[in-house]
């Protein structure tokens, strides 16, 4: 075990898998000589060479389309979008080709698409989105979102080994802010939820960076015992873990950094309403961003994104219900 940042853990997972399987290759803008926009692939070009660490044109559709072709002939490409927002330029290739290839032609498409996502650094409306729900709605894609360094490494390895196209949501705000003990060598984290904190009175469900916001918000909250459930995987969604938590606590707050309408939290709320309504002792409460672009202005961005205070107040009101 060694302590790593969230960013270093992703890098270590990529390097570990590339060393063990020559079919793994990386593709993206400035990921080679420059080492990536956030330096996740720093040093990879020198170790693995231009044939396996490919600097691409500024063309997300071409990156994903080429990766699909490489996967069909047996390679295991990992595509990096510099920012998750830019995936819109490759949406057709991912949603209409990669996601449907197995259904249509019985061909697995083993590609991993890394999407640095989320706000918290004043990146503005074109560099701060959380587009995971776009891909939850596309049958054939898997979607994962780690919150810890340990899970970041385990999930990136699991994503690369999965025969399906996997969208890997890595939160930029966590890159150098979150550290943790990470196992050496190769291991896989399952596409299932984990209990980040045990509790009895209320459960808060979150994923990605919001897990840390929730943990801070619910520490020593009016003496209540609050469970925190980290989803980790959005597709497949760990429905049994969610329903078990609801049955145990009977009160639920769902926290989602994405804008509220049709966000991942909406699917979780629908699941609870349909299959665990009788277990509830209060309404399902959601905390999310409003339906607006993320502002450049730091004070306005802070007002838009879910905060510790907003989560704490939502929990306090539900506890008193």
171 counts as catalytic: no
Q: Phi then psi for 303, rounded to 5 degrees?
A: -75, -30
Question: What's the CA gap between 49 and 75, in Å, rounded?
Answer: 16
Three-class SS state of 70: helix
d(CA 23, CA 70): 10
Buried b (16+ CB within 10 A) or exposed e, 257-276: bbbeeebbbbbbbebbeeeb
Q: The tokens 């520490």 sit on which residue?
A: 219
- Percent helix, strand, coil in the chain, to 5, is 40, 20, 40
Q: Residues 127, 171, 173, 212: which is the catalytic one? A: 127
Phi-psi region of 270 (alpha: psi -120 to 50; beta: other; left: phi over 0): alpha
Rounded-to-integer distance, Cα 257 and Cα 207, Å:
9
Which spans in the chain are helix H? 6-20, 44-48, 60-72, 91, 101-105, 132-136, 149-161, 210-217, 239-249, 264-275, 298-304, 308-319
DSSP 6-51: HHHHHHHHHHHHHHH-TTEEEEETT-SSS--TTSTTTTHHHHH-TT
Tokens 């231009």 sit on residue: 50
Active site residues: 127
């Amino acid at each position: 075990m060694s302590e790593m940042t969230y960013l270093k853990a992703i890098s270590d997972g990529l390097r570990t898998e590339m060393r063990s399987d020559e079919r793994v290759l990386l593709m993206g803008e400035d990921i080679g000589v420059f080492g990536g926009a956030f330096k996740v692939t720093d040093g990879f070009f020198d170790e693995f060479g231009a044939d396996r660490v490919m600097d691409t044109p500024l063309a997300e559709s071409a990156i994903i389309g080429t990766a699909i072709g490489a996967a069909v002939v047996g390679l295991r490409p990992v595509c990096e979008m510099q920012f998750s927002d830019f995936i819109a330029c490759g949406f057709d290739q991912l949603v209409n080709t990669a996601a449907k290839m197995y259904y249509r032609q019985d061909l697995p498409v083993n590609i991993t698409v890394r999407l640095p996502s989320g706000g918290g650094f004043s990146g503005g409306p074109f560099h701060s989105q959380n587009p995971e729900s776009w891909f939850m709605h596309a049958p054939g894609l898997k979607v994962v979102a780690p919150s810890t360094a340990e899970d970041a490494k385990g999930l990136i390895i699991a994503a690369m080994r999965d025969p399906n196209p996997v969208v890997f949501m890595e939160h930029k705000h966590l890159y150098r802010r979150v550290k943790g003990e990470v196992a050496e060598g190769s291991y896989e984290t399952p596409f299932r939820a984990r209990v980040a904190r045990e509790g009895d009175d209320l459960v808060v469900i979150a994923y990605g960076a919001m897990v840390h916001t929730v943990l801070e918000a619910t520490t020593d909250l009016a003496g209540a015992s609050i469970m925190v459930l980290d989803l980790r995987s959005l597709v497949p969604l760990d429905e049994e873990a969610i329903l078990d938590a609801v049955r145990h606590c009977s009160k639920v707050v769902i926290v989602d950094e994405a804008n509220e309408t049709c966000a991942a939290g909406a699917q979780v709320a629908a699941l609870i309403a349909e299959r665990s309504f009788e277990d509830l002792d209060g309404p399902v409460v959601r905390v999310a961003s409003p339906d607006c672009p993320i502002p450049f202005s730091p004070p306005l961005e802070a007002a838009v994104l879910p905060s510790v205070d907003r989560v704490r107040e939502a929990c306090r009101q539900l506890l008193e219900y």
